[in-house]
Structure 1
Amino acid sequence: MDFTAALEGDGWTQGPDVTSDGRTMATAKYENIVRSHRPEQHVRRSRPLGTSTSHNGGYPGANSPSAMGNGDARLPGNRHPGVPDLAASTEKRPTSDLPEKSPVENEKPPQSTTHEGLFQNAPGQDEESGGRTSEDSLAPSQSKQPQYTPDGKRIITEEECYDALGYSWPSWKKWMLLSSIFAVQMSMNFNTSVYPSAVEPLSEHFEVSEQAVRAGQCAFLVLYAFGCELWAPWSEEFGRWPILQCSLFLVNIWQILAALAPNFGSIIVARALGGLSSAGGSVTLGMVADLYQPEDQDWAVAFVVLSSVGGTSIGPIVGGPIKKFLPWHWNFWIQLIFGVTVQVVHFFMPESRATILMDREAKRRRKSGEDPNIYGPNEVKNPRISWEEVGVTWIRPFEMFLREPIVLSCSLLSGFSDALIFTFQEGFTPVFKQWGFGTLELAWAFIPIIIGYLIAYVSYFPWIIRDSRITKAKGPDYLPPEHRLKWLLYLAPLETIGLFGFAWTSLGPPQVHWIAPMIFSCLIAIANYGIYMSTISYMLAAYGPYSASATGGNGFARDLLAGIAALYSTPLYTNIAPNGLHLEYASTILACLAFVVTMPVYLIYWKGPWLREKSKFAQSLAADRKAKGGHRVAEATKEQLEPHNL
């Protein structure tokens, strides 16, 4: 029964019942709905003293013996005779579906909440959730009505403090934070790509094979993959700022261990710990979701993605001069200097995580006396996080990677593409040595890759501008999430074309000029940027506040496969092309793999709606955004994160 029917047909407007203070029951109920803000007021004023509430809605005293054991005769649905069950009636239909009649009919009573962590109405609890079905429970209403804990604490909502959240920050403040993120991401990816320049010096100093030294690169990248997954969800629980500061501090500590390593084993340990301590793009991209609604985020995503791919290309360019002019220790000292600099810059940046800002706003209002009973979403959790939640927090990114079709398909596409790039870059040394390139010239050979990334970055501008105009004119939901993949349909083939072109221009002099393979490497970079940018943008749109965990799967695949590639890349070129002959064969194999790997782009574009239908998590968050008028939700409910809903 809806609220309008309750007013018109259950004796509310016409019934003769009179309360103990002389008011009609309809008058008492109406005044209660309009004026009361605390649930206990609603309960006490709407009934004669000693009677119980009409429903078990989590109000203080709702479950007490005095409330339940008065011997009152009840109608089905746990109601007093003649009194409608407001909770059941209002929860069955979203507010937007109610007919627009009079102001009286459109008033709504406060929504109650229960507290086992504030998430009681999980799927399967239909009777306790006011008669809602499991499907209704999967998309909880984002009502603007206040919510309460069993002990009467009011929980602040996004709508009440929207001006304090990152979405409402001025542009200069957002881009100040994004610029610091750009530097952080550049530093972390620089650490992965500058190390190969130290392979020969480390091999000579510690008297180990060059292939053994490459294990340090593999250890860093593989552990980096797990580090992204492990750090990301903690940033959602405790905020982005402390997690990034902790990550940067630990990475810098391990750089000192590597620079002062007495033996090669210490190098491997330091690299492994450095990779595990790196929070990576999953956290930095999650910060984009803190600052922008889905329809406005593409400028920021493109900027942060540029920092990620750019860091992997700047490493070889800087590594060449380090290798030529400095001892091997400086490979790690340079990483440390870069890392400390960006940590200091980030130290002065603000927190952006919505739930943390909501906690702070609630504390400010209590301290100022504006509302002494208001609390943030994390403040009412008791305990803040349990060991069970610790396990769920760690498992969540892996669960999403394995069971969310969107995360799995996009992550594998991006991961295989990144592995191909790392493998292809290992071919630079044998290929360009045919033209007599030395250490510095080999470093400069990576400049076309940087140019390719910049071209790809700029190429997204017209699409972003066009999409922004469309969404502003026709609404944020007019363009489906798959539209974010459209430009990738044209860029993805450049990876296959570029690898084939690089392969068959690697013949050396006098047949080919050295500029030819550089041009094709530029095309490969354009495609790699497009794959990363479009898949990340797609997942950010689908998963909103939990995009850090979702994009963690993308980072996991990219870094894991790139780490494995570090071991086989050089042998691939040296064994297939002994004595520098037939180098084109190895790159041709990579080109064939690229053709296969990029095919899912088109499947995801055309079958994306079907994939999202298979994702309960994505569908639930989308329903929440729709209920909020297209705005991004700050936090998913507990039942959305349960394994059976992923």
Structure 2
Amino acid sequence: MFVLNFLKSCLFDSLTNHWFVRNTDLSTDLQKYNDKYDSYADMIDDDWDKETNYDNPKNWPVYLKAFFCFEIGFLCLSVYIGSSIYTAGMKDLQKEFAVGREVSLLPMVLFVLGYGIGPIFFAPISEYYKIGRSPVYITTLFLFALLQIPTALSQSITAICILRFLNGVFASPVLAMGAASVSDVIKLPYIPTVIGGWAVCSLCGPSLGPVLGAVIASSKGWRWCFWFLLIITGSSLLSFALFLPETYPPTLKLKRARRLRELTGNPNIRTNDELRHLAVDRGFAKEYLLRSIEITVSEPVVLFINIYSALIYSILYLWYETFPMVFEEMYGFTPLLEGVSATSMLVGVILGSAVYTIFIYFKYTKRSLKGEVVYPEVFLPMAVMGGFLLPVGIFIFAWSATPKAHWCGPLIGAGIAGFANFIIFETLINYLGMSFPYYYASVIASNGLWRSVAACVAPLYAQPLYTNLATNNYPVGWGSSVLGFTATAMILIPLGFYWKGPQVRSSSKFTDVFEDI
């Protein structure tokens, strides 16, 4: 690790070409303090937002920001692929270990549960000013990559289940911290647009997993799905270990204060974050580790959006059960073609991201660049539109999936649902982020827990739902309609917050930071 840290320091500093600038800034800090400021904390905060301060990630060159966002997006995509990649080999796993369908689902279910639980602890730790984001990413990614080896070599279903749960826990930080990390380096008017790219990775990963898994399992066997995960996560680990910089502002300010303390010999030089958290250090667990739970329980905005997000992800993971019923059993597709059919949702997600980007530019980015104050509710009309389209896609999928009709109908319905899923998910995530900017990672961690619990349970009740409600001509008609009716009712959530959102946010103790943005 010492060698990696040394290489990282040398390579990153040479890439940014900021080493000389940082030391020059430090050499003039004392004069700035004597001439203008009452405290070093005020000086550090005031200097932070200046265009010439390259310690601030928002002032990095565009190519460096793009590389950083690519790292985060690729890792996020890899983790979500990992959740579903082995599903194509489940039948082979059932034969090898002599287990039924429900037991063979447990490795996926426990992985999804693990990546929901992990951020509850890791995301608040990344917001602790003495730690930051980079150590959390690298440590957990190393453990995630390492665990692929015993998973691929496991000789019992019990071992696979335990290891997959641990895989999910250690894969989880990027799922909660990814959007927060992107917001660390991107300036405010462009944050929703760039986070849209992160959301594409979040929603495309589960759809790509079965496709890749079908190719790998059919040629190499189901164990090679985990060796493939080792390869892609290992490459991410190498990239992170060498090039991933710290981006969390309070942590970077602390590093500057420490350098000033070394330069001046004055131990009283502290940042405002240090002064604010001196008392908190003694209650670290209560203040940080329980923050996600506290925000969920005490904030109606977070609670109801989490419920809506949970529905979206449960529908996404239910497709893994409905697609084989429709395309393999009814239309006679091969497992590989059935996996390819899942990309219809991916196409919908990509189209949704294009429409979303255009909407965000005119409704948010353009206005922000003009200096207008744009409130979080600007995202909600788009969420309402997605809310109406989601049940439309579900109903088309449900009632066009019949032996009497062509297989294009269900694919079109799934594509519309994928389009709507992206629109709803991304607009609500941005609404949460703008409502709770200082606690972004904790809020997303809370959202991720709800999504993962819903997603991990969905495959377990899918079979009874569709079997009990199936008819000869419409095997998924009424089962999917239950989801469609539920999705229709959920439209009330963005409508309600568009109507009463400002009043609800004004009573929150966590949203006051928004007024300063």
Same fold by TM-score greater than 0.5: yes
Amino acid at match of 1:472: L
1:413 to 308, 321, 328: 308
Please list every run of 5 or more consecutive structure 2 residues that lacks an aligned counterpart in the other structure.
1-30
**Cα displacement (A) at 1:422:** 1.3
Matched position secondary structure for 2:405: coil
**Cα displacement (A) at 1:549:** 0.4
**Cα displacement (A) at 1:282:** 1.2
Matched position secondary structure for 1:352: coil
Q: Given the alignment of the two structures, is residue 355 of structure 1 paired with residue 246 of structure 2, yes or no?
A: no
Matched position secondary structure for 1:487: helix
Distance 1:315 1:580, change over 3 A: farther
Residue 158 of structure 1 is matched in structure 2 by: 45
2:355 to 459, 464, 475: 459
User: Do the aligned residues in 2 keep the contact of 1:452 with 1:525 (CA within 8 Å)?
Assistant: yes
**Cα displacement (A) at 1:375:** 3.7
Q: How does 1:567-582 map to 2 (within 5 A)?
A: 567-577=460-470, 582=475
Amino acid at match of 1:460: Y
User: Do the aligned residues in 1 keep the contact of 2:37 with 2:43 (CA within 8 Å)?
Assistant: no
Q: Distance in 2 between matches of 1:566 and 1:145?
A: 59
Q: Distance in 2 between matches of 1:252 and 1:315?
A: 17
**Cα displacement (A) at 1:284:** 0.8
User: Do the aligned residues in 1 keep the contact of 2:466 with 2:475 (CA within 8 Å)?
Assistant: no
Amino acid at match of 2:306: S
Distance 1:332 1:156, change over 3 A: farther
Matched position secondary structure for 1:194: helix
2:202 to 305, 308, 318: 308
Distance 1:405 1:541, change over 3 A: same
**Cα displacement (A) at 1:573:** 2.4
Residue 365 of structure 2 is matched in structure 1 by: 468
User: Do the aligned residues in 2 keep the contact of 1:401 with 1:408 (CA within 8 Å)?
Assistant: yes
Residue 23 of structure 2 is matched in structure 1 by: none
Which one is further off, 373-382 or 596-605? 373-382
Residue 276 of structure 1 is matched in structure 2 by: 169
**Cα displacement (A) at 1:209:** 0.8
**Cα displacement (A) at 1:391:** 3.3
Which one is further off, 443-452 or 601-610? 601-610
User: Do the aligned residues in 1 keep the contact of 2:352 with 2:419 (CA within 8 Å)?
Assistant: yes
Q: Distance in 2 between matches of 1:311 and 1:578?
A: 32
Residue 295 of structure 1 is matched in structure 2 by: 189
Deviations 1:52-103 (A, max 9, x none): xxxxxxxxxxxxxxxxxxxxxxxxxxxxxxxxxxxxxxxxxxxxxxxxxxxx
Q: Given the alignment of the two structures, is residue 519 of structure 1 paired with residue 412 of structure 2, yes or no?
A: yes
**Cα displacement (A) at 1:37:** 6.2
**Cα displacement (A) at 1:234:** 0.8
Distance 1:363 1:519, change over 3 A: same
Q: How does 1:296-375 map to 2 (within 5 A)?
A: 296-347=190-241, 348-367=243-262, 374-375=269-270
TM-score normalised by L of structure 2: 0.86
Q: Distance in 1 between matches of 2:411 and 2:32?
A: 71
Residue 489 of structure 1 is matched in structure 2 by: 384
Please list every run of 5 or more consecutive structure 1 residues that lacks an aligned counterpart in the other structure.
1-34, 39-109, 111-143, 149-153, 631-646
Q: Given the alignment of the two structures, is residue 441 of structure 1 paired with residue 345 of structure 2, yes or no?
A: no
Q: Distance in 2 between matches of 1:476 and 1:284?
A: 27
Q: How does 1:220-235 map to 2 (within 5 A)?
A: 220-235=111-126
Q: Given the alignment of the two structures, is residue 566 of structure 1 paired with residue 459 of structure 2, yes or no?
A: yes
User: Do the aligned residues in 1 keep the contact of 2:310 with 2:455 (CA within 8 Å)?
Assistant: yes
Distance 1:146 1:175, change over 3 A: farther
Amino acid at match of 2:256: E
Amino acid at match of 2:514: A
**Cα displacement (A) at 1:295:** 3.2
User: Do the aligned residues in 2 keep the contact of 1:484 with 1:534 (CA within 8 Å)?
Assistant: yes
Give the % identical residues: 26
Larger Rg: 1
- Higher relative CO (Cα under 8 Å, sequence separation at least 6) belongs to 2
User: Do the aligned residues in 1 keep the contact of 2:126 with 2:132 (CA within 8 Å)?
Assistant: yes
Q: Distance in 2 between matches of 1:393 and 1:554?
A: 16
**Cα displacement (A) at 1:381:** 8.7
**Cα displacement (A) at 1:535:** 0.9
Q: Distance in 1 between matches of 2:256 and 2:33?
A: 19
